[in-house]
Amino acid sequence: MAQKRNPQAVFKHIGVHSLDFPEHEFDGFWTAATLLHILKDRIDEALQKIKTQVKSGGVGFITMKAGAGEREDPEIGRWFAYYSKEGFQEVLERNGYQVIEEKNRQPNIYLK
């Protein structure tokens, strides 16, 4: 749909662990309903990969699912990782991110 509406634009479908743009290419990032599908034992790797793509001082947006644990939703067949507010804050901090604003439990991120 996006390509049809923007025929001159270039779109890429790339998994977060496979991002291969030049380092520090972007001023920010947007991960709406993306990282919530990353296994908890790979979330640090994903956040570090994003960090290599964004300039120092860049900003970002992340949406996650509130709760605990991780599991496949049998109704839709998709994997979800659930975090408490404090738990995801800890994940962000250990990866060098700082929450600058939060609305409805969705953090806007600042890269240190």
28 Cβ neighbours under 8 A, 6+ residues apart? 54, 58, 59, 60, 61
Question: 24-111 sits in which CATH class?
Answer: alpha beta
Residues 61-78, mean pLDDT to the nearest whole number: 92
Per the confidence metrics, is the pTM higher than 0.75? Answer: yes
> Band of the pLDDT at 101, cuts 50, 70, 90?
confident
Residues 38-51, mean pLDDT to the nearest whole number: 97
67 Cβ neighbours under 8 A, 6+ residues apart? 82, 83, 84
Q: CB of 84 within 8 A of CB of 68?
A: yes
What is the pLDDT at residue 53? Answer: 96
What is the pLDDT at residue 105? Answer: 56
What is the pLDDT at residue 106? Answer: 54
* End-to-end Cα separation, the chain, in angstroms: 35
Per-residue DSSP letter, 91:
H
| Cα 56–chain centre separation | 17
Q: Tell me which of 102 and 35 has the higher pLDDT.
A: 35
